[in-house]
């Protein structure tokens, strides 16, 4: 299959328009085909993760952002189901609490970063601070920032500086061995409506639904604008954004896992080698064990 990494990657300094991205794209796949492809990628990911965990040369941070019902939880469940749980951690970020608000907006995210050899998944992330906070700027006032006591003061210069803070944060991580992949699961407003109705009508899915989802849906246009601006401002060659079609969950899973696998392959991972002295003792250790 053609490289989905290249197809969905947002190039640095690109000014994107989300209207130009097809949320229903499937690349010629069908649902049945995708199962076989997904399983093959799972095998590759499991093998690569073993080397990744053993080498402890890098950490991998995977960011998922999306509108409600785009399928973030589903992607995490199906894509990461084959990896060793010891080498993977998932954090789902909700609204910041009192302790979070007493620190800078990146503090709680820094605490959740993966260690060397581990894959960290952030279900929503530090980008909420330039997405939901941009749509609802009154949330920024809770941070009690010096000089920003009214929403009117949160001008373009404020958001530009916040994008710069995010860029500096990610540059620091990159310089210290963290590989960063950022996925925006791009679902259509029509598909979101369909999934909301399914959650309402299916009693087993009622727990997934919240009236707040409907309120946020009313701000769809503002969210699309915030995503366009945020992705355009923060997609770089080393910490790229990928805009993934999300109307068909089975394709979304294949697209995401293929990009993760291709990225890990690019690291040329190897298992650690024993020190020369220790390696020279292996045959002796073998003989001793066989004599027991």
| Residue 1 pLDDT | 58
- CA 165-70-96 angle, to 5 degrees, is 40
| Residue 144 pLDDT | 96
Domain housing 211: 4-290
Contact 209, 196 (CB under 8 A): yes
pLDDT tens-digit map of 80-124: 988 999 999 999 999 999 999 999 999 999 999 999 999 999 999
| Residue 238 pLDDT | 96
Per the listing, tokens 């197809």 go with 7
Backbone angles phi, psi at 241, to 5 degrees: -95, 145
pLDDT tens-digit map of 58-78: 999 999 999 999 999 999 999
| Residue 278 pLDDT | 83
The most confident of the ranges 26-35, 78-87, 150-159, 197-206 is: 150-159
pLDDT tens-digit map of 137-190: 999 999 999 999 999 999 999 999 999 999 999 999 999 999 999 999 999 999
User: What is the domain count for the chain?
Assistant: 1
Of the chain, the percentage scoring pLDDT greater than 90 comes to 83
Contact 244, 74 (CB under 8 A): no
3-state secondary structure of 245: strand
Contact 126, 109 (CB under 8 A): yes
Dump strand ranges (E) for the chain.
9-10, 59-66, 88-92, 119-123, 178-186, 241-245
Q: What is the CATH number of the domain that holds 172?
A: 3.40.50.300
From residue 118, give the alpha-carbon distance in Å to each of 58, 90, 92, 127, 203.
8, 11, 17, 21, 37
């Amino acid at each position: 299959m053609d490289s989905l990494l290249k197809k969905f990657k947002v190039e640095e300094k690109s000014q994107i328009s989300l209207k130009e991205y097809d949320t229903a794209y499937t690349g010629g796949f069908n649902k049945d085909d995708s199962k076989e492809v997904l399983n093959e990628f799972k095998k590759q990911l499991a093998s690569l993760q073993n080397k990744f965990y053993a080498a402890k040369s890098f950490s991998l941070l995977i960011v998922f952002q999306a509108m409600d019902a785009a399928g973030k939880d589903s992607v995490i469940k199906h894509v990461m189901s084959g990896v060793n749980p010891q080498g993977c951690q998932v954090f789902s970020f909700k609204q910041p609490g009192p302790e979070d608000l007493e620190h800078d907006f990146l503090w709680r995210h820094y605490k959740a970063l993966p260690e060397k050899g581990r894959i960290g998944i952030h279900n929503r992330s530090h980008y909420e601070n330039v997405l939901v906070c941009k749509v609802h700027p009154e949330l920024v006032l809770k941070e009690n920032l010096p000089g920003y006591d009214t929403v009117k003061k949160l001008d373009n210069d404020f958001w530009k500086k916040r994008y710069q803070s995010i860029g500096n944060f990610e540059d620091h991580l990159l310089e210290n061995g963290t590989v960063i992949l950022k996925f925006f699961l791009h679902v259509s407003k029509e598909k979101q409506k369909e999934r909301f109705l399914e959650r309402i009508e299916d009693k087993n899915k009622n727990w997934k639904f919240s009236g707040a989802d409907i309120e946020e849906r009313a701000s769809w246009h503002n969210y699309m604008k915030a995503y366009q601006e945020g992705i355009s401002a923060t997609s770089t060659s080393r910490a790229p954004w990928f805009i993934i079609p999300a109307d068909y969950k089975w394709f979304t899973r294949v697209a995401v896992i293929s990009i993760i696998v291709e990225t890990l392959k690019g690291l040329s991972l190897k298992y650690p080698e024993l020190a020369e002295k220790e390696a020279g003792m292996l045959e002796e250790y073998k003989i001793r064990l066989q004599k027991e």
